[in-house]
Amino acid sequence: MNDCESNVLPEFVIVTRQGYSVSFDEPIPNLGQLGDVITVALVRTEPIADEATVTVEELGTSFLSPIPATLTFQANEATATLTVSITDHGPALEEEATLGIDLPSSSPSLLLTRDPDRANAIVNILNPPSLSVQYANLALSASSTRANFVIEISEPFHRDITITLVYEGEVIYSDAPSTVVLPAHAERLTVPLTINPQDDNMEHSFIVRMFSATDSINIDENRDQTTFVLHVADVLISIPQRRFRVAEGETFSVGLIADRTAPSEIVVDLFTPNLGDSAQLEALPDAVIGQGRTNSLVGITVFNDDIPEDESTVTVEFRSKTVGAMVDPVEDYVVVIIPANQGRAIAPQIDDDNVIPADDNDGDGGDDAAPQSDTLSSGALIGIILGGVGALLLLIMMALLCCLVICCCGSGGYGKHDHAYPRPYYFYGPGYPSEAVVYDVEY
């Protein structure tokens, strides 16, 4: 090989492949639940005269059917659609199924898109929430004229839910609907029932049960019904004050009054009917009316978390655990208003120039140009006051000590001393406060 040949670069051959890109039309997540039908569309960059077939597969899960599925782009069509059903879901509240495209080798003109956001389609599958009743048993007074059937849902749902109710037992109610609707995004539904007054001095009962619900919503079989029992109550308990305004960390007392002396100890259960309310209160105790008494107080403490919060309202309900006693259904709750809380103050940081940076509430604890207010906190004021009082007490003690020393020195010249020679005594004359008069006195 000569020198000229050694300087020749090798040739590179670039092979290009002309085709049509295939992708999902809507890569954004599709949302569905068990039983829902989802339509998935595929597109190619432009229609061509020939038919083209691709396969759609589910990657890693098996929640959709029929999968895998074959889609055919008809001649001169740029879109092909696939309809799948959600036939299964996992244990999590929200599952995810991923669809991918498999291109057959027999169609070299089809290429998978290079856009990673359109190479797959996501189907989000929501695990259906479950419905349950708030109370399995509810005691009412024989004189009650109303009752509430309360339905709760484990997670708020994005659509209205229609629920079918059935009634069993004695027909002592009216205005009882056979179907009710739980609104979208609601956490509970209260169904009011009208009770026909009973004056036969006998116990009565009836049952309200959830029979079915739309949108494949589950009904908790262990908590699908409430048994209402109308007791001939021996003791009726009322709550005179039912509205309180209490700051975080403070305790307030709720008074319970019985209409007659308790024949035995009466225990009343306290609970929060609304989800999330229990987190704003310390653990709720039982209220107890002792035997032979007609009233009781129970303390409730608002939880203090030192987190800035807006004003909120909490409802606490009362239910008797003791047979023969009940809380008046009209006065069986209290409302607690918790004022807005600014949270715990954070001590400002001082920079090298002894400047306290202002905080513009951006979460960085300060470090802004504007100087901070020099208003003293309550803790600093208390410290200054205590320091002043301590200094004053110290001055008083020093003054008393000086007086004591002066008195001791002034009284040292009185009395007899065992000396063999006369000793001078010093007296301050009344007209000469700053001069001493010396006398020689014989012992």
DSSP one-letter string for 206-234: EEEEEEEESTT-EE-GGGSEEEEEEE--S
Residue 177 CA to residue 187 CA, distance in Å, equals 20
Residue 33 CA to residue 129 CA, distance in Å, equals 10
List b or e across 99-127, with b for residues whose CB sees 16 or more CB atoms inside 10 angstroms: bbbebeeebeebbbbeeeebbebebebbb
Residue 85 CA to residue 172 CA, distance in Å, equals 46
pLDDT for res 63: 84
Residue 368 CA to residue 358 CA, distance in Å, equals 5
Is the torsion defined by CA of 15, 21, 22, 26 positive or negative? positive
Residue 95 CA to residue 33 CA, distance in Å, equals 10
Residue 176 CA to residue 174 CA, distance in Å, equals 5
Is the bond preceding 116 in cis, omega lying within 30 degrees of 0?
Answer: no
Contact by Cβ (8 Å): 177, 194: no
pLDDT for res 441: 42
Beta-carbon contacts of 56 under 8 Å, excluding residues fewer than 6 positions away, are 40, 42, 67, 68, 69, 70, 71, 82, 99, 100, 101, 102
pLDDT for res 178: 93
pLDDT for res 430: 47
* φ, ψ of residue 410 in degrees (nearest 5): -70, -30
pLDDT for res 250: 93
Is the bond preceding 192 in cis, omega lying within 30 degrees of 0?
Answer: no
Q: What is the pLDDT along the chain (443 residues), one digit of tens a residue?
A: 454 444 444 443 433 334 567 887 765 557 777 777 888 888 877 777 778 888 888 888 888 888 888 888 888 888 888 888 888 766 666 778 888 888 877 666 677 777 777 888 888 887 778 899 988 877 776 667 788 899 999 888 878 999 999 999 888 888 889 999 999 889 889 999 988 876 666 778 899 999 999 877 889 888 999 998 887 667 889 999 999 999 999 999 999 999 889 988 999 999 988 877 888 899 999 999 999 999 999 999 999 887 888 899 999 999 888 877 888 877 889 999 999 887 654 444 444 444 444 444 444 444 444 444 444 555 566 777 877 777 888 888 888 877 776 666 654 444 444 444 444 444 444 444 444 444 444 43
Helix residue ranges per DSSP H, 144-230: none
Lookup: tokens for 346 = 């954070």
Contact by Cβ (8 Å): 300, 281: yes
Q: Judge residue 176's burial from the number of C-beta atoms within 10 Å of its C-beta, 0-12 exposed, 13-18 middle, 19 or more buried.
A: middle
Residue 187 CA to residue 130 CA, distance in Å, equals 11
Query: Which three-class secondary structure state does DSSP give residue 424?
Result: strand
Q: Where are the beta strands (DSSP E) in 272-324?
A: 287-289, 295-301, 312-320
